[in-house]
Amino acid sequence: DIVMTQSPDSLAVSLGERATINCKSSQSVLYSSNNKNYLAWYQQKPGQPPKLLIYWASFRESGVPDRFSGSGSGTDFTLTISSLQAEDVAVYYCQQYYSTPYSFGQGTKLEIK
């Protein structure tokens, strides 16, 4: 099974500043035949289901603000929020869908400093 590990567990960033969340997989999630990374990012606010932000490691889901971006390849990935807004306070999860059982990171709680 692929284990997903996020860092940090929590993060406090000032409004308008950059927030960076890291995700590491225990094995590569890059599929060589199509050169795609099978990695997604989600945002979850209290009492709500997760919301898909990024898939294929860097493709922004429709309607997601462009301040959210994903990068990385292989085993190391990053979610960046370029200019933190108050509504971005949430828990963020990465997920690999390279192989079953699909697995999620433990989550990173993002707060305002």
Q: Is 95 in the site for other proteins (CB under 8 A)?
A: yes
Closest CA to 102 of 44, 33, 29: 29
Q: Which two tokens stand for residue 19?
A: 């927030």
- Shortest gap between Cβ of 98 and other proteins (angstroms)? 9
Segment 25-44, which members bind other proteins (CB under 8 A)? 38, 40, 42
Contacting other proteins (CB under 8 A), which of 61, 67, 71, 89? 61
Q: How far is the C-alpha of 47 from the C-alpha of 16, rounded, in Å?
A: 25
Dmax (CA) for the chain in angstroms is: 43
Chain contacts with other proteins (rule: CB under 8 A): 1, 38, 40, 42, 48-52, 55-56, 61, 93, 95, 97, 100-107
